[in-house]
Structure 1
Amino acid sequence: MRVLLVDAFPMVRAALTGLVEQHFAGAQVQGVDTVAAARVALAEAMPRLVLLDLQVEGGFELLQQIHREHLLLPVVVISGSDDTEDALQALGAGAMGYVPERSDLNTMVQALQLVLAGGTYVPPLKPLTDDEPAPPAVQAPQDWDHLPLTPRQKRVLQLLTQGLSNKLIARELGVSVDTVKDHVAAVLKALGVSSRTQAVVAATQKVRG
């Protein structure tokens, strides 16, 4: 598995490279420190996963470009910020995961495993206002009542916000993957979005906004 790591700091690149190579058998990490070098690496060989620090100059534009030109290439943002707005902005731009650098080792590994399995990782984040506690998990809120969704489809939306892939959702609900795909399509239409990641962002904003 080839992993492209985009981070300006050599110590961070060394730490993340060691983490990935230790926990993912056969992983080969290519570390670069600029967006220009990342674009060259992408042109030479397509990786299985991109780890991106948005603090790199032009990092957000690179995230948008990857989402636009390589829709199936998952990008996980590794960030020094645990701010909710930063995470929602990254996820809305196409990131499949947002992992604050303060996260412990197990959390980082589990986040990467989830994204590689087709899921979306959204960490526990600070509330948007200081006096509003962040919920421990996304529940089906009243804000979803107006959506033209069946109870089962609302459950699918809830599982999407927890980062589960279609396969894991199918296992959780005891239905086929094709059935889950139909439910996901209905959810995307109801939310007025075009991707699973955008659905997670929209649902999270409804709960935390």
Structure 2
Amino acid sequence: MSSATQTLLGLYQIGKARNKNFFDKLTFPDGIDHDLAVANILHEAGDCEVLYNDLDLMANACELFSAKWRHTFEKWLAVMNIDYEPLENYNRLEHWSDSESTSESTSTSTSDATSNSATTDNDISAFNESTLQNDTSAATTAETAGHALNQSKHDRLNYFDHEGRVHGNIGVTTTQAMYLEEWELSKLNLYHEIYVLFGRELLIPFSY
């Protein structure tokens, strides 16, 4: 007696009709497109038999799958987002700082002096004389002196931060070999790898 089988695409269509899409339980870290991942799984393995032909069991299995592989997905994303030059095998970043001190002073001196003198005569006349004669004489001298000294000083301390980068191919690997390695690396596809993991755990028979 043979048991009934159900394909992934068939079970998915049944779930959509009943508003019980088990792929809603399939979650990914930010940076992975959920709809694209699901569409690729259906495209690659829609005609494969599911491990669980019950909608609730399949939903639980998708939730477990997401939790189990979440850390792996995060690591894949981190590797994919590394910024590097594919034909370089040496990269060093440097950071250093220095300072510059300057001091400036100015001094201004001004002085002035003034002198004023005056003489005062006091004339009188005798009782029976019409001619005035000098009685007393007073001389007054006034001197004024001024001096001003203006000084100013400015100190300046400047800090400078520098960054530098040394990079390139130091010769331990040929450019051609690095090119071939980059070529192979570029063949890796995140959504294909998700499909492979999903198929190995939730589809039967599955071989890749």
TM above 0.5, yes or no, is no
Higher relative contact order (CA 8 A, sep 6+): 2
Which structure carries more helix by proportion?
Answer: 1
Q: TM-score, normalized by length of structure 1?
A: 0.23
